[in-house]
Amino acid sequence: MRVSHLDHFVLTVADIEATCRFYEAVLGLERVQFGENRPGLMVGALRINLHQAGHELWPHAAKPLPGSADLCIICNAAMDELVAHLDRCRVGIELGPVARTGVQGAMMSVYIRDPDNNLIELSVYPS
Protein backbone atom coordinates (compact mmCIF):
# COMPACT_ATOMS: atom_id res chain seq x y z
CA MET A 1 0.00 0.00 0.00
CA ARG A 2 1.16 3.53 -0.79
CA VAL A 3 -0.41 6.76 0.35
CA SER A 4 -1.38 9.04 -2.54
CA HIS A 5 -2.00 12.45 -0.96
CA LEU A 6 -3.84 14.34 1.79
CA ASP A 7 -7.57 14.87 1.26
CA HIS A 8 -8.43 17.00 4.29
CA PHE A 9 -7.41 17.79 7.84
CA VAL A 10 -9.33 19.23 10.77
CA LEU A 11 -8.76 22.45 12.68
CA THR A 12 -10.53 22.73 16.01
CA VAL A 13 -11.44 26.39 16.44
CA ALA A 14 -13.01 28.63 19.07
CA ASP A 15 -15.22 30.50 16.56
CA ILE A 16 -15.98 29.04 13.14
CA GLU A 17 -17.28 32.34 11.76
CA ALA A 18 -14.17 34.29 12.84
CA THR A 19 -11.95 31.56 11.37
CA CYS A 20 -13.80 31.63 8.05
CA ARG A 21 -13.68 35.43 7.85
CA PHE A 22 -9.91 35.41 8.47
CA TYR A 23 -9.06 32.69 5.98
CA GLU A 24 -11.38 34.16 3.32
CA ALA A 25 -10.27 37.79 3.71
CA VAL A 26 -6.57 37.32 4.40
CA LEU A 27 -5.72 34.17 2.45
CA GLY A 28 -8.46 34.09 -0.17
CA LEU A 29 -9.59 30.58 0.76
CA GLU A 30 -13.05 29.49 -0.34
CA ARG A 31 -15.56 28.65 2.37
CA VAL A 32 -17.50 25.49 1.58
CA GLN A 33 -20.29 23.49 3.17
CA PHE A 34 -20.17 19.72 2.80
CA GLY A 35 -21.89 16.64 4.20
CA GLU A 36 -24.62 17.65 6.62
CA ASN A 37 -23.92 21.41 6.36
CA ARG A 38 -20.40 21.07 7.77
CA PRO A 39 -18.03 24.05 7.34
CA GLY A 40 -14.71 23.87 5.59
CA LEU A 41 -12.14 25.90 3.69
CA MET A 42 -10.60 24.92 0.36
CA VAL A 43 -6.83 25.15 -0.20
CA GLY A 44 -6.35 24.00 -3.78
CA ALA A 45 -7.46 20.35 -3.83
CA LEU A 46 -7.22 20.08 -0.02
CA ARG A 47 -10.02 20.90 2.41
CA ILE A 48 -9.62 22.16 5.96
CA ASN A 49 -12.59 20.87 7.96
CA LEU A 50 -13.57 23.04 10.92
CA HIS A 51 -14.71 21.68 14.28
CA GLN A 52 -16.15 23.95 16.94
CA ALA A 53 -14.18 23.50 20.19
CA GLY A 54 -16.29 21.60 22.70
CA HIS A 55 -18.58 20.31 19.94
CA GLU A 56 -16.17 18.21 17.88
CA LEU A 57 -17.59 15.59 15.56
CA TRP A 58 -16.81 12.02 16.49
CA PRO A 59 -14.37 10.48 15.92
CA HIS A 60 -11.88 13.23 16.63
CA ALA A 61 -8.33 13.76 17.87
CA ALA A 62 -7.63 12.69 21.45
CA LYS A 63 -6.97 16.28 22.58
CA PRO A 64 -8.55 18.69 20.09
CA LEU A 65 -7.60 22.25 21.03
CA PRO A 66 -7.76 25.59 19.22
CA GLY A 67 -4.31 26.99 18.55
CA SER A 68 -2.44 23.68 18.38
CA ALA A 69 -1.83 23.64 14.60
CA ASP A 70 1.29 24.63 12.68
CA LEU A 71 0.85 24.55 8.92
CA CYS A 72 2.37 25.86 5.72
CA ILE A 73 0.39 27.29 2.81
CA ILE A 74 2.02 27.96 -0.56
CA CYS A 75 1.08 31.32 -2.11
CA ASN A 76 1.07 32.35 -5.77
CA ALA A 77 2.47 35.85 -5.27
CA ALA A 78 5.81 37.53 -4.98
CA MET A 79 6.96 37.83 -1.35
CA ASP A 80 6.84 41.64 -1.42
CA GLU A 81 3.22 41.46 -2.66
CA LEU A 82 2.37 38.97 0.08
CA VAL A 83 3.90 41.18 2.79
CA ALA A 84 2.07 44.25 1.42
CA HIS A 85 -1.22 42.31 1.39
CA LEU A 86 -0.77 41.23 5.02
CA ASP A 87 -0.03 44.85 5.93
CA ARG A 88 -3.23 46.03 4.18
CA CYS A 89 -5.16 43.33 6.09
CA ARG A 90 -3.51 44.50 9.33
CA VAL A 91 -2.11 41.04 10.00
CA GLY A 92 1.16 41.13 11.89
CA ILE A 93 4.10 39.08 10.71
CA GLU A 94 5.62 37.08 13.54
CA LEU A 95 8.75 36.11 11.61
CA GLY A 96 10.10 36.72 8.14
CA PRO A 97 10.56 36.86 5.35
CA VAL A 98 13.02 34.01 5.96
CA ALA A 99 14.52 31.31 3.77
CA ARG A 100 13.05 27.85 4.32
CA THR A 101 13.04 24.47 2.59
CA GLY A 102 9.72 23.04 1.44
CA VAL A 103 8.78 19.84 -0.35
CA GLN A 104 9.87 21.34 -3.69
CA GLY A 105 13.06 22.95 -2.39
CA ALA A 106 14.06 26.49 -1.42
CA MET A 107 11.30 28.96 -0.59
CA MET A 108 10.74 32.20 1.30
CA SER A 109 8.29 32.28 4.20
CA VAL A 110 6.53 34.62 6.60
CA TYR A 111 4.79 33.43 9.75
CA ILE A 112 1.47 34.78 10.98
CA ARG A 113 -1.17 33.73 13.52
CA ASP A 114 -4.82 33.00 12.79
CA PRO A 115 -7.65 33.93 15.22
CA ASP A 116 -6.90 30.83 17.35
CA ASN A 117 -3.15 31.52 17.39
CA ASN A 118 -2.38 28.63 15.06
CA LEU A 119 0.99 29.24 13.43
CA ILE A 120 0.51 29.78 9.70
CA GLU A 121 3.58 29.76 7.46
CA LEU A 122 2.91 31.51 4.14
CA SER A 123 5.52 30.51 1.58
CA VAL A 124 6.53 31.43 -1.93
CA TYR A 125 8.65 29.26 -4.20
CA PRO A 126 10.92 31.11 -6.64
CA SER A 127 9.36 31.49 -10.09
Residues tagged active-site: 121
The closest alpha carbon to 22, from 3, 8, 41, belongs to 41
What's the rounded Cα separation, in Å, for the pair 60 and 74?
Answer: 27
The closest alpha carbon to 9, from 36, 45, 37, belongs to 45
The closest alpha carbon to 60, from 50, 70, 47, belongs to 50
The total of other beta-carbon atoms located within 10 Å of residue 51's CB is 19
